[in-house]
Amino acid sequence: MAGSSGSSNGDHKRPLQDCSSYAQEHAKKRVRISTRAEHTYAPYHDGYQWRKYGQKMIRGNTYPRCYYRCTFHQDHGCPATKHVEQTNSQDPPLFRVIYTNEHTCSGNYVSDYMASSIHIQQIADASLRKAEMEISSLTHCGAGHGLIKEEKDAIVSSLLTVINGCDVATSDVGHAAVQENTPALMARNSYEATPSVSPVPLEASDELKMDFVEPLDLGWFIEYTQTG
């Protein structure tokens, strides 16, 4: 909808431009400093602000690859870019993120704490649903696998504690990030749009929360693929 300012569809062809200048620009941009790959459940919340500039289906991949560059690419000429592709349809889905070039901008970084908190919530969210399913199945198949009622209650209670503690991070940061359109996440994006919980800092003294925080750093398996 929107605009409707005349121009019908079909004519958004880019005018042919001087090939040589185009090539020069690309040549400049290809001065690649470094790349690294990272596998994460939270590809869109890594502490930086990104602007999406393209999406492409990659041969052999089930999911599209999305291309992002630093929000301050224009303002400060920050060369950092990344592309993100979903690698599976698990819950939560795992993503592969390729970072290219380092940030030269300042003021872009949101903080690891905020970014990882969102990350944590995604996983806690999925964990709770898994636990609920498991408990449900145990309940229904009578004999169960040896979990007594107190244990089940403890699991649910712990997960709820974790999630409540992590709700904090969704208050604002998520909106600065790009919208996700990968099918597996679309169904679960609603939590980002509902900053319902008041900001309360995570308490380092809470052992339950810290147990979760520890192994959930943003870089799960960082593979440095290339340098220079």
190 binds DNA (CB under 7 A): no
Pick 114 or 177: Cβ nearer DNA: 177
225 binds DNA (CB under 7 A): no
- Contact between 105 and 78 under an 8 Å Cβ cutoff? The reply is yes
Least distance (Å) from DNA to the CB of residue 179? 5
Give SS3 for 1. coil
13 binds DNA (CB under 7 A): yes
Residue from the set 19, 143, 187, 204 that interacts with DNA by CB under 7 A: 19
Binding mask 149-188 for DNA (x = CB under 7 A): --------------------------x-xxx-x-------
Joined together, the tokens standing for residue 109 give 């970084």
Joined together, the tokens standing for residue 182 give 């990968």
Residue from the set 40, 42, 48, 71 that interacts with DNA by CB under 7 A: 71
Nearest to 122 by CA among 63, 171, 185: 185
130 binds DNA (CB under 7 A): no
Q: How far apart are the first and last CA of the chain?
A: 46
Query: In this chain, which stretch among 2-10, 118-126, 139-147, 220-228 interacts with DNA, using CB under 7 A?
Result: 2-10
Nearest to 97 by CA among 39, 33, 156: 39
- The C-alpha angle 166, 171, 177, rounded to 5 degrees, equals 105
Joined together, the tokens standing for residue 147 give 């979990």
Q: How far is it, in rounded angstroms, from Cα 215 to Cα 33?
A: 29
7 binds DNA (CB under 7 A): yes
Judged by the rule CB under 7 A, the positions of this chain that interact with DNA are 1-4, 7, 9, 11-14, 16-17, 19, 22-23, 25-27, 29-30, 50-56, 58-60, 65-67, 71, 81, 83, 175, 177-179, 181, 193
